[in-house]
Amino acid sequence: MRLEQPRPSARELDVALFLDSLGVKLPLAQEREDGIELITLQSPAVSFLEAKDNRAALLCFRSSGAIYPMSLLFLRGDTEFTFCHSTLLLDSYSGNSNIAALLRQKTSEFFSGQPGKYLSGPWPRWATLVLKGQQDCRIVWNMKPTLPVAVEVFSKTVGPVPDLPLFPSVYSYNNPYVENLLEVGLPNLAGCKRALVLGTGAGLDAVCIALANNIPVDATDINPIAVANTIACARRVGKEGMVSAWVSDGFDRITQSYDTIFFEAPLAVEHQHERDPNRFDLGGRILKQVLAGLASHLNPQGALYLMSQPDISAYLPATGLKSEVRRIFVPKSAAAIHEIRHA
Ligand SMILES: C[S@@+](CC[C@H](N)C(=O)[O-])C[C@H]1O[C@@H](n2cnc3c(N)ncnc32)[C@H](O)[C@@H]1O
């Protein structure tokens, strides 16, 4: 008789998505003894965590043939370094809370040693660096959308507003930019058969479009962790089958054309204020690239709803598009929602 395996919890699935987006492959059990294991990662995806040298290490515990991720470790900084850890411990694993207690104990034993011990594990040179502090970069699980426009969509479709996870490195979904974008764009989706969200982040805009209009939504981002976050959020609201998410730099991995496209773009800046790819687009590279490729991804009557600075004339191609400012708002510096169509 085969025993039914308990279904993994939503948080277990989130952790699996997060690790998968970083390219982590958990080793199969094999005949190894129970104990701590460190899996080192060096992948472009890790750069989105702003990890020094694109390096991180996954602290795991092997128990009775299964391997459990406990914490992701990495350093941030150029001259002075912060030790960052992203705890992945859950209250229960496949319905088993005993393993949770064991993993907590093993994690605290590991961290009770000298920092040199846990830093030299992944890369010996880490142990020689002077640390200026620590930072907790965990998945945020106890947060809900609070923007009235999103709350209204949830209330009309799924009922109470659910908690939606926010993965490390992903822009927080409770922001005034997406609020204004949704307020202007959502009422204009009548007749739209399929929408695209560029720069999906945690996926709030993709989820709201899918819920409000019951249409399929494609959602892309340059950050694979944001793509994983979007899938996690779509799952939370039962729209996993309606939201397809994948990595793309602007339009480079998008082949279709759409009736409606949403893009809450990082702001085009001429000088780097601070390193933050969620908020700043140095030289307007992304904005130019997206506007240059727009005509071939927009259906004849289609529209792009774009959040950017009020004057985007320097980034628009000379011909082929017409652009109208639909709203100006001032969260910190002036921002605008543009509606852009074929000329
Ligand atoms: C301001 S955030 C908006 C996130 C999300 N739409 C929201 O409402 O919270 C901008 C997003 O654009 C993404 N992004 C930056 N450069 C990009 C590019 N070249 N192609 C696609 N997405 C990009 C960032 O990773 C980030 O998720």
User: Which of 77-81, 157-161, 221-225 is predicted with the least confidence, judged by mean pLDDT?
Assistant: 77-81
Cα 333 to middle of ligand 1, angstroms: 18
Closest by Cα among 145, 169, 177 to 333: 177
Question: What is 148-342's CATH number?
Answer: 3.40.50.150
What percentage of the chain exceeds 70 in pLDDT?
Answer: 96
- Among 167, 171, 172, 247, residue to substitute to test ligand 1 (most atoms within 8 Å of Cβ): 171
User: What is the per-residue pLDDT across 257-280, written as a single tens digit (0 to 9) for each?
Assistant: 999 999 999 999 888 767 787 888
Return the amino acid letter for 311.
D
Give the range among 263-272, 300-309, 334-343 with minimum mean pLDDT.
263-272
CB 26 within 8 Å of CB 67: yes
Amino acid residing at 75: L
Q: Which of 1-15, 153-167, 197-211, 219-233 has the lowest mean pLDDT?
A: 1-15
User: 233 C-alpha to center of ligand 1: Å?
Assistant: 16
Per-residue pLDDT at 61: 93
Q: Is 50 in the pocket of ligand 1 (CB under 6 A)?
A: no
CA distance 281 to 276: 9
Tokens of residue 82, six digits: 């912060």
pLDDT reported for residue 31: 67
**Residue 5: how many other CB atoms lie within 10 Å:** 8
- How far is it, in rounded angstroms, from Cα 169 to Cα 202? 10
Distance CA 56, CA 193 (A): 41
At residue 115, the pLDDT reads: 66
Residue 301: count of CB within 10 angstroms of its CB:
10
Q: Is pLDDT above 80 for 206?
A: yes
pLDDT at 118: 72
Which carries the bigger pLDDT value, residue 313 or residue 96? 313
Helices marked H in 122-161 — which ranges? Answer: 148-157
- Residue that is written with structure tokens 């993965």 in the block: 167
How many CA within 13 A on the CB side of residue 46?
Answer: 22
Pocket perturbation via mutation, ligand 1, pick of 278, 281, 282 by most ligand atoms within 8 A of CB: 278
The residue assigned the tokens 């947060």 is 143
Residue 238 has pLDDT above 60, yes or no: yes
Q: CA dist 89 to 6, 34, 61, 93, 102, Å? A: 18, 18, 11, 9, 11
pLDDT at position 94 over 60: yes
For residues 201-223, average pLDDT: 98
Beta strand extents in the chain (DSSP E only): 35-42, 55-63, 66-76, 81-87, 131-136, 195-198, 217-221, 243-247, 258-264, 267-269, 280-282, 298-308, 321-329, 335-342
- The DSSP line for 230-273 is HHHHHHHTT-TTTEEEEE-STTTT----EEEEEEEPPEEESS-S
pLDDT band at residue 329, thresholds of 50, 70 and 90? very high
Closest CA to 232 of 261, 263, 200: 200
pLDDT in tens, 49-71: 999 989 999 999 998 888 999 99
Is the separation of the CB atoms in 206 and 194 below 8 Å?
no
Three-state DSSP at 219 gives strand
- How far apart are the C-alpha atoms of 261 and 306, rounded to whole Å? 8
Q: In the predicted model, what is the mean pLDDT of residues 159-183?
A: 97
Q: Are 139 and 132 in contact (CB under 8 A)?
A: no
Q: Which two tokens stand for residue 251?
A: 């339009």
Q: What is the pLDDT of residue 216?
A: 98
Mean pLDDT across the stretch 153-165? 96
Please indicate whether residue 126, judged by its CB atom, sits closer than 6 Å to ligand 1. Answer: no
Domain ranges within the chain, ordered by starting residue: 10-136, 148-342
Q: Is 150 helix (H, G, I), strand (E, B) or coil?
A: helix
Q: What is d(CA 160, CA 236) in angstroms, rounded to the nearest whole number?
A: 12
Q: Does this model's pTM top 0.85?
A: yes
Q: Is the CB of 14 under 6 A from ligand 1?
A: no
Inter-helix orientation angle 204-213/176-185, to 10°: 20
pLDDT at 25: 84
The owner of tokens 């507003």 is 161
**Ligand 1 pocket check for 215: Cβ under 6 Å:** no
**Average pLDDT, whole number, for the chain?**
92
Q: What is the mean pLDDT of the segment spanning 124-145?
A: 91
Residue 332: pLDDT band (50, 70, 90) is: confident
